[in-house]
């Protein structure tokens, strides 16, 4: 759906429309690369995320104070920062679980949650918001699986309901996805019969089932026992190579160092600085960044 094309009359629309050209012109490489196995590095051609000057308040407290961030197709951005700095809120604005009070977000040039009418942004209808959300997978700290559905049923529910896929087709794809997260043999298990790490891997398979352009993770391992953290991080590491754009909020600094293209440090509703893991961990420019990492990183942690 092109929200923007019909409304080139405002500056915002013109900017968004211009950005929309980029993925379209890269369409042919996509056709040649999608046949490759997901675990092979491949050039990504979709999933460009642009967050522009986003502001958000709860009551009188401004928790996002003009946040701007771009993540290219296939990019892996890891957001770190102290509790209450706005990381979850920022993530939730990307799939419009939170409305923004200012600024805007586009994915592949298409405004998220809003359309331009006249010179103003108007919120989309619920039906269109839900449709947009099918392009954006989200994995939460608390798994959020349906307890009365098996692992496979959890994975195939959205493709059948939202995309009207046939049950047979959805099952075939669902089993492939469970295989990808190492759980094909647990397809018929209910969440209560799975460990936390296994449940989170089912949640990742479920997020992949709609073939999203981007995947958002909000502290995907922080509810897990320490020995289960790596099995989930390993799945995310694999995804990072597959060309899906990932935006991950985590406290796992080793993971951020290994997997991120860009580490984003947030504090008090702002991005204090962002850069490569080397930039941010080893050579932070800002005192706030240095002070945060001096508290969270083990002395033995070497970049």
Ligand X SMILES: Nc1ncnc2c1ncn2[C@@H]1O[C@H](COP(=O)(O)OP(=O)(O)OP(=O)(O)O)[C@@H](O)[C@H]1O
Nearer to ligand X, 43 or 84 (CB): 84
- Identify which of residues 88 and 198 has a Cβ nearer to Mg ion in the complex: 88
Nearest distance from residue 68's CB to ligand X, in Å?
A: 17
**Residue 192 — φ and ψ, nearest 5°?**
-65, -20
Contacted by 83, from Mg ion, ligand X, none: CB < 5 to 8 Å by type: ligand X
Return the number of the residue (88 or 221) whose C-beta is nearest Mg ion. Answer: 88
Rg of the chain's alpha carbons, rounded to an integer?
19
List of residues contacting Mg ion (CB under 5 A)? 88
| Three-state SS at 290 | helix
DSSP secondary structure of 22-73: HHHHTHHHHHHHTTS-TTS-----S--EEEEEEEEEETTEEEEEEEEEEE-T
Q: Does 146 bind ligand X (CB under 6 A)?
A: no
Report in angstroms how near the CB of residue 239 gets to Mg ion at its nearest: 20
CA-to-CA separations, 106 to 70, 72, 75, 95, 146, in angstroms, rounded: 10, 12, 15, 10, 30
Indicate which of Mg ion, ligand X, none lies near residue 85 (CB less than 5 to 8 Å, by partner kind): ligand X
- Establish if 88 lies at the interface with ligand X (CB under 6 A): yes
Which one of ligand X, Mg ion, none interacts with residue 196, CB within 5 to 8 A by kind? none
The one of Mg ion, ligand X, none whose footprint includes residue 63, by CB under 5 to 8 A per kind, is ligand X
**Residue numbers at the binding site for ligand X (CB under 6 A):** 58, 63, 81, 83-89
């Amino acid at each position: 759906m092109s929200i923007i094309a019909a409304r080139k009359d405002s500056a915002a629309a013109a900017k968004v429309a211009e950005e929309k050209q980029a993925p379209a012109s890269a369409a042919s490489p996509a056709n040649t690369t999608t046949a490759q196995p997901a675990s092979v590095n491949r050039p990504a051609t979709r999933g460009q995320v642009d967050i522009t000057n986003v502001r958000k308040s709860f009551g009188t407290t401004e928790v996002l104070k003009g946040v701007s961030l771009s993540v290219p197709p296939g990019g892996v951005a890891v957001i770190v920062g102290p509790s209450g700095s706005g990381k979850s809120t920022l993530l939730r604005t990307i799939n419009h679980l939170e409305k923004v009070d200012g600024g805007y977000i586009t994915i592949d040039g298409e405004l998220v949650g809003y359309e331009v009418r006249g010179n103003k942004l108007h919120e989309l209808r619920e039906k269109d918001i839900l449709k947009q959300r099918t392009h954006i997978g989200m994995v939460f700290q608390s798994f959020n699986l349906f307890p009365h559905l098996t692992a496979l049923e959890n994975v195939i529910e959205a493709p059948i309901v939202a995309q009207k896929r046939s049950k047979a087709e959805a099952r075939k794809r669902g089993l492939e996805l469970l295989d990808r997260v190492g759980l094909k043999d647990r397809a018929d298990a209910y969440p209560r019969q799975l460990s936390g790490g296994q449940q989170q891997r089912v949640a990742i398979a479920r997020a992949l089932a709609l073939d999203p352009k981007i995947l958002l993770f909000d502290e995907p391992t922080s509810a897990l026992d320490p020995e289960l953290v790596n099995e989930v991080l390993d799945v995310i590491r694999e995804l990072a190579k597959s060309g899906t754009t990932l935006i991950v909020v985590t406290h796992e600094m080793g993971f951020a160092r290994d997997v991120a293209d860009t580490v984003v440090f947030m504090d008090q509703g702002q991005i204090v600085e962002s850069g490569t893991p080397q930039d941010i961990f080893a050579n932070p420019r800002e005192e706030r960044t240095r002070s945060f990492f001096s508290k969270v990183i083990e002395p033995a942690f070497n970049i």
